[in-house]
Structure 1
């Protein structure tokens, strides 16, 4: 596919192969864009930002509504594209395609509700005959730097609100999974988005990312990815507005009064969906010592039933990781944990980019499988004696994106909600659940700002205060 830059589809002299991670076959080729392409794109996006700002919220909502309808018509094509380029099983890709259309639809609805507020100035000293209100205005140009693991939905979570707020949008998709974003760009243009108001530039993240961060004409950056890259972006971006959706090593607490069947089912889903390549995957399974053996046995039976293989085959429950190097990294982390005293309950084998769903038992805080984000199909079990100890263990991390607890005790559940340092908290479910309309974001090193169309529009617009000085 070509990339969309400066109002037209373009090729470059150098290309990048897009690879099916299961069999390493070449699906397509994409242009290898550069920093110069960012400069060209932004010059046209400046004009696009003016067009979008002058467009009514109603007209922007119609474009997004039309785009959502087209996405649903083409959901099967989008799903197959997601599976081919990312390795996600087809059933999960179909869910992602439908959710993505919903995000665009929600963004269109929120475009009509973008508003300021009245400020009660007369309640202040000297406020007599003063009428105050705020206006929300677009940032101008928004840059969306997106990851590989949800190559359509996470793009939509940035693109939809950016358009709804009246901005022009520059998309930098992950080099491993650019096809979904390119197809979305094509569809948005078909839905009526002005060609000057969007760009999708493919290529190496380092060079393109630096060009995005250092261009003063780009007012807002929304990034989803690792803490390390997010920190670099913030350092380069200066006074730009930023939203950072970063990593995690999500804890799930299993209390002694938990519904163990429900807990094991939820962890077997949340720890291994998309081969564990989800920022809110269940990773640290903190389990009451009183139910240790029962829970391990139950979880193992469910994990052992997860069949790995070709992501396009219906029987496959876990496909390949996006790169063989990532599967190798997970293999190394697991082997290191075992050498440091952890017990391998099941899994622990690799075949190319496929890593078998793995359970580690008796892990320790100093092990990499606990302290860092594994981002692969493995969970680490450790044990506690009471709720205070469990919360201390849950908070023993620099991350804070999502956490879960299983308990029938209301007081324990509320103590968890109040004291666990996480942006998303689930009671009687694992860490992995997200409604696209909810405010979504993390604490600590897991990021800044919120996603979800309503909340992202706030992040992608700016506020102006208006004071009318009235006569008596």
Structure 2
């Protein structure tokens, strides 16, 4: 495919465009063609960005809410104006099909809109204290104040919206932020840096620094960045927790997304289409993509056929083609890993219902497996690729137990219309979110989002992240002032 090579994107050091000493190309996962270039931040530039963030922290915390909100609204408006250009950029650097890239841009617009709104309503609470005789005549005003500068580390799979989920809450809460985008997909984050440079915020409030992963420890360990917000792989998240046990760390890590279909669920074709689509959107490279599908025995044969038919209908190919629904994975190495996991499952007796063909570069044919052994990697670990595993369960309760039989706990989807089952799923599932009548892949950008067990700690979603980036401070007053 042909791509127009963009100019070398500057990095953003304390809100100012700069270039590092070593440039590198960003390549398209579909055909490895260069689509843009930028440079690695030098150690000196990293130091300048962190020092500036620490130096502006008091000023940032004292900024009026309307100033922060107006800056966020400006970025929301500019993203909306440039929506198609931004979607093309997301596709070019991540390989995401253009239809999904457009959806990501719309979500980023929404994320900044929510951040602007939350900046204006981020207030305290008044608490009466005369509930005990000893506290008569007093009231408590509880407000939240910034913990200090934030280090935001974002992944490749949502190179625009997950960066927005770092920057938006930080600016809304009055926290300077240093963003380290994924090395494979830095261009969208750098474009956000350019948009923020158009605002009236103190420039030092935002830096966007491409840094190789093997140099990230310099940022993670810096005591001037007391908050670390990381979205990415479990092993890296665990390493960060070990590195900085005294910092406030939020982690949005992996998942092993499961859906449960009740035997009497009437909208079977809807469920099959949603499972097929969201097991393969973005080539399965989403932590809430459907991976495990548990179906009550009475519906298994019918649902397996429906799901397989829908998966077969998903076209792969050039992600810039609007007809493409499943694009390449982020790299050949990632595709080789998933291909090897499928082969391992098949060697262990799994039945291939569709797909399973040899990959083409970084592109894998969407695959559906059944009769997978319990210890197979495609069942136990996060595939992060276009693979669905179907399993029959004897009862609704057995399906809930099967979902919980995982070290992950991000979100789960439950296809039922029975209220007792809805409440049972909400009560019993060990996950951060339960989606009824749909797949676990649903996310609204304002809702608390995150998981339990190996899926992380803390919550994203603008207001929830603002709580993580701030700390409560209580003011006790006489009520007769």
TM-score for the superposition, normalised by structure 2: 0.95
- In structure 1, the partner of 2:468 is 459
SS class of match (2:409): coil
SS class of match (1:149): coil
SS class of match (1:72): helix
Q: Choose which of 390, 407, 417 in structure 1 pairs with 2:399.
A: 390
- In structure 2, the partner of 1:9 is 17
CA distance in 2, matches of 1:468, 1:415: 44
TM-aligned CA deviation for residue 35 of structure 1: 4.5
Say whether the 8 Å CA contact 1:34–1:204 is kept in structure 2. no
CA distance in 2, matches of 1:468, 1:162: 29
- Show structure 1 runs of 5+ residues with no match: none
Give the total of aligned pairs: 471
SS class of match (2:56): helix
Q: Choose which of 64, 67, 75 in structure 1 pairs with 2:75.
A: 67
Q: Choose which of 209, 219, 222 in structure 1 pairs with 2:226.
A: 219
- In structure 2, the partner of 1:96 is 104
- In structure 1, the partner of 2:450 is 441
CA displacement, residues 404-448 of structure 1 (integer Å, 9 cap, x when unaligned): 111232222221121111111011111110111111111111111
Moved over 6 A (4+): none
Say whether the 8 Å CA contact 1:260–1:295 is kept in structure 2. yes
- In structure 2, the partner of 1:252 is 259
Q: Choose which of 371, 374, 388 in structure 2 pairs with 1:365.
A: 374
CA distance in 2, matches of 1:306, 1:191: 42
Q: Choose which of 320, 324, 330 in structure 1 pairs with 2:338.
A: 330
TM-aligned CA deviation for residue 51 of structure 1: 2.5
Say whether the 8 Å CA contact 2:15–2:197 is kept in structure 1. no
374-383 or 406-415: which moved more? Answer: 406-415
Say whether the 8 Å CA contact 1:47–1:197 is kept in structure 2. no
- In structure 1, the partner of 2:239 is 232
249-258 or 121-130: which moved more? Answer: 121-130
CA distance in 1, matches of 2:285, 2:296: 26
CA distance in 2, matches of 1:234, 1:189: 32
Alignment of 1:169-248 (within 5 A): 169-208=177-216, 210-248=217-255
- In structure 1, the partner of 2:6 is none
User: Residues 470 and 301 from structure 1, CA distance in 2 versus in 1: closer, same or farther, beyond 3 angstroms?
Assistant: closer
CA displacement, residues 79-135 of structure 1 (integer Å, 9 cap, x when unaligned): 000000000011111111111011001101000111121222222352123232112
CA displacement, residues 125-168 of structure 1 (integer Å, 9 cap, x when unaligned): 52123232112112221111000000000111110010000111
TM-aligned CA deviation for residue 34 of structure 1: 4.5
Note if 1:288 corresponds to 2:306.
no
CA distance in 2, matches of 1:237, 1:75: 38
Q: Choose which of 112, 115, 137 in structure 1 pairs with 2:145.
A: 137
SS class of match (1:136): strand
23-32 or 319-328: which moved more? Answer: 23-32
CA distance in 1, matches of 2:213, 2:413: 33
Say whether the 8 Å CA contact 1:283–1:380 is kept in structure 2. yes
TM-aligned CA deviation for residue 250 of structure 1: 1.1
SS class of match (1:123): coil
CA distance in 1, matches of 2:285, 2:219: 26
CA distance in 2, matches of 1:39, 1:237: 18
Say whether the 8 Å CA contact 2:125–2:142 is kept in structure 1. yes
Note if 1:414 corresponds to 2:423.
yes
TM-aligned CA deviation for residue 8 of structure 1: 2.3
SS class of match (1:351): coil
Say whether the 8 Å CA contact 1:404–1:426 is kept in structure 2. yes
User: Residues 281 and 65 from structure 1, CA distance in 2 versus in 1: closer, same or farther, beyond 3 angstroms?
Assistant: same
TM-aligned CA deviation for residue 470 of structure 1: 6.9
- Show structure 2 runs of 5+ residues with no match: 1-8
TM-aligned CA deviation for residue 36 of structure 1: 4.3
- In structure 1, the partner of 2:4 is none
CA distance in 1, matches of 2:13, 2:414: 46
Say whether the 8 Å CA contact 2:426–2:434 is kept in structure 1. yes
- In structure 2, the partner of 1:23 is 31
Note if 1:112 corresponds to 2:117.
no
Note if 1:430 corresponds to 2:429.
no
SS class of match (2:182): coil
- In structure 2, the partner of 1:86 is 94
